[in-house]
Amino acid sequence: KEMNALNPSAAGTWLGVMGGGQLGRMFAHAAQQMGFKVAVLEPSIDCPASHAADYLHCADYTDADALKKMAEQCAAVTTEFENVSARSLALLAENTFVAPSADCVSIAQDRMEEKRFFIDCAAKSGVFPAPHKEIKSDADIDSVPDDLLPGILKTVRMGYDGKGQVRVKTRDELRQAYADMEGAHCVLEKMLPLAYEISVLSARGADGQSVVYPIAENVHRDGILFTTTVPGPHITPESAAKAQAAALAIIEQMGYVGVLCIEFFVLTDGSLVANEMAPRPHNSGHYTIDACVTSQFAQQARAMARLPLGDVRQHSPAAMLNILGDIWFEGDSEKAHEPAWDKVLALPGANLHLYGKNSARRARKMGHVTFIAPTIEEAQENLRKACAILG
């Protein structure tokens, strides 16, 4: 298909997205606002994006027939989850424009490739990944240097929200943890002294132009993002500038098109470490919907449509609270009750986003609420009040 910018007002200019989760839903909202029609490919009918999309290809992510139909329908296709098979993206690319590309997505799907890529970029980005060793066999455990322990054993593929990782103190614990992984390809990372965690959202257009959003400071609980605060309470202007420059160097070297989120650790000595990247809009970038001129989802639509990228300027301090299914349940009770949204919405600057999931489950991402305020302290104060209300 032609590589000119797409025209959102032309009847039937469709953008496609692989995956029907909340990211697909919020992408649909943003792309539709600009006039595009949105198609989603997702096997489950009752997914968050199916109620927002103009069309649902209800099929497995690898269904060749459905991929062909979506590629013929859509002038460009993107992905909302990173574990989509790179082969599916390559198949789509035979008939339409795919952004990010299968090659870029496959780097982000594999922690070893991701680390190798960060190392390849280090001359330009100035940032390295955590010290690590690939673990593919018991013999690899014997040759782990002592100074990688204590560490975190992570599966190379499919890990997210803290899943597929085990913290180990000793070589014996490492041996046991690796045995429990039942042969999965792993990587051991040295446990680093984190001062705080940040993520850097950037976007690059097909014309090579790139933009970087303000630094988001993230707090995780039980491996899942808990809050994002922008501007962050700990980040210094020097670290922020360094992380933004590193993100731009990385997205450039990848030849990436679309929105990319890179997580960095800031260590207690102030140094930056590249942790991982997500080849898509990211949970820590949800604040951009309410607090930036161009949201990460609108940016994704612009990038894939080869339109000019939007202004990344933040117009309000923002504090985002993730809403997990746990708050529907009291203690160990199995009986769900609806949270007090009226009280949350009574707080100043509250922007509630619920994803329309059919049922609440513990640790399931059900929505988020972003507080915007004239100062970051007020936004944080209202977030704390929301936490107290929601329990």
Q: Per DSSP, what are the bridge partners of residue 217?
A: 198, 229
Pick one of ligand ADP, Mg ion, none as the site partner of residue 78 (Cβ within 5 to 8 A by kind): none
What is the widest separation between alpha-carbon atoms in the chain? 63
We find the least distance from the C-beta atom of residue 94 to Mg ion, in angstroms, to be 32
Best CA proximity match to 47, nearest among 26, 81, 21? 21
Question: What does the alpha-carbon distance between residue 149 and residue 126 come to, in Å, rounded to a whole number?
Answer: 25
Question: What does the alpha-carbon distance between residue 320 and residue 286 come to, in Å, rounded to a whole number?
Answer: 8
- Residue the block writes with tokens 């004239």: 374
Annotated binding residue 154: yes
Question: What does the alpha-carbon distance between residue 122 and residue 127 come to, in Å, rounded to a whole number?
Answer: 5
Question: What does the alpha-carbon distance between residue 379 and residue 391 come to, in Å, rounded to a whole number?
Answer: 18
DSSP string, 50-111: TTTSSEEE-S-TT-HHHHHHHHHH-SEEEESSTTS-HHHHHHHHTTSEESS-HHHHHHHTBH
Q: Which is nearer to Mg ion, 8 or 100 (CB)?
A: 100
Annotated binding residue 275: yes
Pick one of ligand ADP, Mg ion, none as the site partner of residue 189 (Cβ within 5 to 8 A by kind): ligand ADP
We find the least distance from the C-beta atom of residue 230 to Mg ion, in angstroms, to be 17
Footprint of ligand ADP on this chain (CB under 6 A)?
A: 130, 152, 159-162, 189-192, 194, 197, 220, 223, 263, 275-276
How many residues in the shown chain lie near Mg ion by CB under 5 A?
A: 1
Is 379 within 8 Å of 318 (Cβ atoms)? yes
Pick one of Mg ion, ligand ADP, none as the site partner of residue 35 (Cβ within 5 to 8 A by kind): none
Is 9 within 8 Å of 307 (Cβ atoms)? no
| Closest residue to Mg ion: CB criterion | 263
The contact mask relative to Mg ion for 259-278 (x = CB under 5 A, - = no) is ----x---------------
We find the least distance from the C-beta atom of residue 389 to ligand ADP, in angstroms, to be 26
We find the least distance from the C-beta atom of residue 263 to ligand ADP, in angstroms, to be 6
Q: Which is nearer to ligand ADP, 69 or 111 (CB)?
A: 111
Contact residues for 136 (Cβ-Cβ < 8 A; gap 6+): 185, 186
Annotated binding residue 37: no
We find the least distance from the C-beta atom of residue 192 to ligand ADP, in angstroms, to be 4
Pick one of ligand ADP, Mg ion, none as the site partner of residue 341 (Cβ within 5 to 8 A by kind): none
Pick one of Mg ion, ligand ADP, none as the site partner of residue 82 (Cβ within 5 to 8 A by kind): none
Q: Where is the binding site, in residues?
A: 111, 154, 159-165, 189-192, 197, 220, 275-276
Applying CB under 5 A, the residues found at the interface with Mg ion are 263
